[in-house]
Structure 1
């Protein structure tokens, strides 16, 4: 069962933190929490996460840390849709682009093992069909998903690989800003 805590922020608004705690033989074996601007969002997240953890073997994987290590980029994008969109809605074009990424070869890779070369390869393939500014959107959305992977989506990724790809792709003409 989840517990919730209401906290007043400096500006006078409130945030709500949902806590999930699991004990075995009186010892805490797993804890997880997320903070939201509205209590309803915290309740929805807690209910979804409790349902996920109630699936056969899910809690054990979460405890051992294996839950996040086997997630593909496509699964990570699915979690991004579920967890981030309710908090920060975006336009349909971003949804369409994320679905393209999810359904690509890049989407089948294990998220925890993604290297800069994988990102560059994905963007290079996309750039063959489109402009470098459109390919930049792919990169930006990948960066956005990976940027919240560890903290919000509970998937450990090597974010430094994003930065390496970003420094390399303009040199190869794969990405550029609009109008250049």
Structure 2
């Protein structure tokens, strides 16, 4: 049985909006919920009438079935086509959700209270609001595909109401700005430790030029995945530039190629690499970061990630007097606000050096 109700809501400017919610029940159990907001009550009423009439006439929802969220998450996880452009974080989160209590909730019956309970459980286990937000965002993404991909009824519309409540309760939120840069002492210790690691290798183990890659990562502000994907064919020796393929962009997953200048000594670092394959640095990015992390841990250097070298490089360019537009040509940022807010952490004492050089 389909029905609808209209809720009048006051807006900040003193005007009103009208939210029409259509609900469908089967033997007293909610099997579908859909809502939409309008500026006029009559328009909201007509939308509700049309949708309920359509549901009653063609029985569109009867074709859909409901399953526990855990079953839906498993279906999603096992469909390779859905994973083609998905990062490791999303995969990890979805596998984790399968083992949570929320996985027992029926896909069509998910309520705000279920999401609140899940977020509280995660918080009590020591998880931060920014990480918990990934749970909610990725669960919503899976539920939106439930109908068209798996013919499963999933109440993904509930997130429209739930997310503002979760934010207000402080259960989910944005990540805090990270400002970590390695000190000169830490970099010297890291270089010494990486040198020792390079000098020691087991039989058959490929020797990774950690020092060159470390310095190259700072000078170019490249992600380690980008460094390990650079190709000799994309190097322009005359201009001292290189083409970085498929650079990370939230709006474009593929084809985001960018010509990047090889500043300072980064070009010389490239030229001294042996040309044994099509790749300039033919190593797995995970192997490079794993070696970095082992040395870092052995030295007792806390809270330093390989990705912080990207911030170090960008900050150095700003300290040398490069404009934000020029730095963006190196880092690849389309959004200059993100470049300034996230990847810049200037050392106040460096301003003395700039003053003396003027």
**TM-score greater than 0.5 by the shorter chain:** yes
Distance 1:166 1:86, change over 3 A: closer
Say if 2:127 is the partner of 1:130: yes
Partner of 2:168: 171
Partner of 2:100: 104
Say if 2:136 is the partner of 1:139: yes
Q: CA deviation at 1:84?
A: 6.0
2:113 equivalent among 117, 124, 149: 117
Is the 1:83–1:153 Cα contact (8 Å) retained in structure 2?
Answer: no
Q: d(CA) in 1 for partners of 2:80 and 2:161? A: 25
Say if 2:70 is the partner of 1:74: yes
Q: CA deviation at 1:85?
A: 4.6
- The secondary structure found in structure 1 opposite 2:148 is coil
If asked which structure has higher relative contact order (CA below 8 Å, sep 6+), I would say 1
Cα deviations by residue, 1:43-93 (Å, 9 ceiling, x for unpaired): xxxxxxxxxxxxxxxxxxxxx747x22x11011001112336546332223
Is the 1:132–1:174 Cα contact (8 Å) retained in structure 2?
Answer: yes
RMSD (Å) for aligned C-alpha atoms: 1.9
Q: d(CA) in 1 for partners of 2:157 and 2:82? A: 27
Q: d(CA) in 1 for partners of 2:69 and 2:80? A: 15
Partner of 1:38: none
Q: CA deviation at 1:177?
A: 0.8
Tell which deviates more after alignment, 134-143 or 82-91: 82-91
Distance 1:152 1:96, change over 3 A: same
Distance 1:145 1:84, change over 3 A: farther
Q: d(CA) in 1 for partners of 2:76 and 2:115? A: 18
Is the 1:73–1:111 Cα contact (8 Å) retained in structure 2?
Answer: yes
Superposition pairs for residues 1-180 of structure 1, below 5 Å? 65=63, 68-69=65-66, 71-83=67-79, 85-86=81-82, 88-128=84-124, 129-179=126-176
Distance 1:138 1:87, change over 3 A: closer
Q: How many residues align?
A: 115
Q: Which has the larger radius of gyration?
A: 2
Q: d(CA) in 1 for partners of 2:174 and 2:165? A: 14
Q: d(CA) in 2 for partners of 1:179 and 1:87? A: 28
- The secondary structure found in structure 1 opposite 2:71 is helix
Distance 1:163 1:84, change over 3 A: farther
Q: d(CA) in 2 for partners of 1:119 and 1:98? A: 15
TM-score, length-scaled by structure 2: 0.30
Q: CA deviation at 1:136?
A: 0.6
Which runs of 5 or more structure 2 residues have no equivalent in the other structure?
1-61, 178-358
Which runs of 5 or more structure 1 residues have no equivalent in the other structure?
1-63
